[in-house]
Structure 1
Amino acid sequence: MTADDVVLVGVDGSAPSLRGLDWAAAHAAVHGRRLYLVCSYSIPSFSTAALDGGYAALDDTAIQQGARAVLEEAEARVLRTGVPVTSDVATGDAAAVLIELSRGAATVVVGTRGRGGFAERLLGTVSSALPAHAHCPTVVVPSRQASAASPEVTGPARPVRRIVVGVDGSPAAEAALEHAIVEAETWGAELTAVAGVPMGSGSGLLAWLPAAQDHEQVLRDVAEGLDVVVDRALVEHPGLQVRRHVLDGTGAALLTEFSTAVDLVVVGSRGRGGFAGLLLGSTSQAVLHHAVCPVMVVRVPARDDEWSPTDVGRRR
């Protein structure tokens, strides 16, 4: 088995994580991959400084048994789909465990209820640790896609029939576009590439431009740049049609709005070292927090040749 064969899934037995598991199983089935399920836990400890200056760990037997029970339930759920599955119990911080294991996976999938829940614990208060550091694309599956009345209902995952990808001219967005193309071909889905240009008066990025024709020129330039980026990505995929839209608004707002009408949002995020590496870009972070369909975050390492936000209309 190689990394291309594996979909890594974090499970904890909650309804949101089971919804993520169902989506991962459907994803693995269409890609011809196997699932690798991981349930992780941290061993509690307490200070014994008053006695001997050290620390004592509690007996983790019951915790480990509980984790194995979670995995047995999850494996049984997957086996009904016919997708090959293996599982392991791991000790340690859940995010750190999945980040390290993502080195050997094609995709890592977690579920979230939007606030709180498994993925929220993984991603931290800024919902960024896993997508910002994973070594493969991360998919976060919100349980609120099920229904507004019953946000934690689980069941067979909805097939991916419509995909939207954000394109802004950055290397991360181009990597996201490449992954979106593969997903569209694999699922037989419609693919739409969207570039956002904030045009609103006052706070819009184009508010400083002196005349209406300048605004129109920027839109034309961005549309031309979007065509160049998409056409270049389609050279190896001549049979795929990609819709292109340049719209008024920020990438985060547009992709979040599209998430109500599509089955998968794909967004890029540039990885960084140091403190900045703890954070996702503002677009990917906002989309993760507010989207109502699964979101795939494609992370690429930061490069020395920095790009400009207007590059979607200039990179040729």
Structure 2
Amino acid sequence: MAEDKVVLVGVDGSPESLEAVDWAVDRAACSGWRVHILCAYSLPSFTTASLDGGYAALDDSAVRSGAEAVVNEAVARAQGRGVTVTSSLETGDPAGVLVDLSEDASLAVVGTRGGGGFADRLLGTVSSALPAHSHCPAVVVPRHTEGSAFTPVRRIVVGVDGSDSARKALRWAVREAEAWGAELTAIAAVPMASGAGALAWLPAAVDREQVLTDVRSGLDRAIAEATEGHPDVVVRRHALDGNAAELMSEFSTAVDLVVVGSRGRGGFSGLLLGSVSQGVLSHASCPVMVVPARTREEDVRVGRTQTTPWSRA
């Protein structure tokens, strides 16, 4: 049910986190989902020396007031755009709070390269921790600087290497393409070039074109499986010789969303998507969605009674 779907977005007052709010609201509008805006804060683990040699306690009410101002600004930005918006303040480490709450969200969204926002909270830390540990797909939105906006999403590229993680990423990319009405391209990268590439040890006698042909066959099978039940989604596909992280980062300059798995081993290219996702997150020019190996919708939850901030709102 659409009313059960929540896009969780973390804010800290930085321009990057407000870009994340914009993306989250537009994504929620595509499917009739709700948006929950959250600011998590904690007091620093140090005290401040006063002039008389004693220690001045940091006023928790001042910190909370700052967090409230951050949430109010984000809520004002999100309202009036056709989606239900709720919000909350939570105490604790922002990355830890977002990871915990991601267990009951359908999507989690944060900005990246934050800084200068509330309490000098660096979103850079959160934007690396959340994709690595989130229970639902996590989207990291870079700061928009020039050219067209990140939404609406019209072009999506997904990295596929044959691993279970990549297959889940492909399935989620198909859903995103369907929700946005976007074009989807699946990329399988095989680093066979001479040098330090993962397959550079292949003997010269090996037909490298045949390797790419085999990869294409595996990619075709994965796409056929992922698009079952989604007849309107057409997936372009390419098997390319090159470094996956570099290729995906290159594609990020020409598309609106990059989708990768959080980790993966084996499959027809033998790549490690963990390193790929980290590389793409570091260099992508557009939002990046990292799909965990196990997502909320695939979990079997018996007797789960956790109360979430959006259920209390």
TM-score, reference length from structure 1: 0.81
* Displacement after TM superposition at 1:157 (Å): 4.7
1:217 Cα offset (Å): 1.3
1:171 aligns with 2:170: no
Q: Hey, what does 1:310 align to over in structure 2? A: none
Deviation at 1:240, TM superposition (A): 1.6
CA 1:113–1:170: 2 relative to 1, 3 Å: same
Of 254, 267, 283 in structure 2, the residue corresponding to residue 290 of structure 1 is 283
Give the Cα separation in 2 of the matches to 1:15 and 1:166: 29
8 A Cα contact 2:14 2:114, kept in partner = no
Could you say which residue in structure 1 is the equivalent of 2:269?
none
2:182 to 173, 178, 189: 189
CA deviations 1:249-271 (Å, max 9, x no partner) are 12111110000000000000139
Determine whether 1:146 maps to 2:145.
yes
Unaligned runs of 5+ residues in structure 1 are 49-54, 149-154, 272-279, 303-316
Question: For 2:92 and 2:57, how far apart are their aligned partners in 1?
Answer: 13
Matches of 1:57 and 1:133, distance apart in 2: 33
1:120 and 2:124 are equivalent in the alignment? yes
Aligned residues: 278
- 1:224-263 equivalences in 2 (<5 Å): 224-263=217-256
Equivalent position SS for 2:290: strand
In structure 2, how many angstroms separate the alpha carbons of the residues matched to 1:47 and 1:156?
42
> Are 2:59 and 1:59 equivalent residues in the alignment?
yes
Assess, with a 3 A threshold, how the Cα gap between structure 1 residues 214 and 41 changes in structure 2: closer, same or farther.
Answer: same
1:26 touches 1:159 (CA, 8 Å); kept in 2? yes
Show the counterpart of 2:107.
107
Q: Distance in 2 between matches of 1:99 and 1:209?
A: 41
Report the equivalent of 1:98.
98
Distance 2:122 2:81 in 1: 23
Aligned residue type for 2:157: V
- Encode CA deviations 1:99-145: one digit per residue, 9 max, x unaligned: 1111110000001137897431314xxx2x211111100000001x4
2:94 touches 2:126 (CA, 8 Å); kept in 1? yes
Distance 1:110 1:187 in 2: 19
User: One-letter code of the match for 2:286?
Assistant: C
Deviations 1:82-113 (A, max 9, x none): 22111111111000010111111000000113
- Runs (5+) with no aligned partner, structure 2: 49-54, 265-272, 296-313
For the 8 Å contact 2:103–2:134, the answer to whether it is kept is yes
Q: Distance in 2 between matches of 1:132 and 1:240?
A: 28
> Structure 2 length as normaliser, TM-score?
0.82
RMSD: 2.7
Q: For 2:149 and 2:25, how far apart are their aligned partners in 1?
A: 9
Distance in 1 (alpha carbons) for counterparts of 2:44 and 2:206 = 64
Counting aligned pairs with the same residue, the percent is 61
Deviation at 1:44, TM superposition (A): 3.2
- Counterpart-to-counterpart distance in 2, 1:255 and 1:62: 43
TM-superposed deviation, 1:178: 0.6
Specify the alignment match of 1:15 in structure 2: 15
Residue identity in the other structure for 2:261: G
| 8 A contact 1:270–1:301 mirrored in 2 | no
